[in-house]
Amino acid sequence: MRNRQPDRRVIPKAVGELAGDRMSVQLDHAIVPSHDRRAAAELLADLPGVPWAESEVGPFSAVYVNDGLTLDFDQADGAFPVQHYCFRVIEAGFDGIVSRLRARGIKYRSTPHGPVDMQVNTQHDGRIVYWSEPDRHVWEALTVSYARQPRKAIQRDATQQHADDGAA
């Protein structure tokens, strides 16, 4: 059986555009379970200073994280799993989030599951903070993504790997 090339005529525009053989994909929205969807959406929107709506589409309270992503808080009466949500922000945005956490008396920490230490993590070439309100989810704000190494670091690692392979 031969590999089929994607048929560009049948890919809906809403899914993304093809660039060569690569398709652009963006996360549009995510459902966030909550015991009080309105209060949770209002609190979360206040921390980074983004807009929210009590009810816009369906039974959700929406937090408009940016032009492309909405977090839709859904009312959950029973137990639900704790989720992890991370926001990459600029330095001034990070300072604002930490300031609002302090002003609201929300405890924060420097590691995802560690003890509340009211500290900011600086181990990954940026700053990171975690908190668990609303609804015990693990919320994270960072200034530099540790999941995406800068291109120079990737090139340096590849160069080192090549040198190591040649020395073997």
| Max avg pLDDT among 6-20, 95-109, 144-158 | 95-109
Q: How far apart are the first and last CA of the chain?
A: 39
Calculate mean pLDDT across residues 87-112. 97
- Specify the residue for token string 């926001």: 87
* Fold exhibited by the domain 81-156: 2,3-Dihydroxybiphenyl 1,2-Dioxygenase; domain 1 (3.10.180)
| pTM beyond 0.85 | no
Domains 10-78 and 81-156 share a fold: no
For position 146, what pLDDT does the model report? 87
CA atoms within 13 A on the CB side of 21: 3
Digit-coded pLDDT (tens) for 32-70: 999 999 999 999 999 999 999 998 778 999 999 999 999
Residue type, position 125, single letter:
D
| Dihedral pair phi/psi, residue 62, rounded to 5° | -100, 135
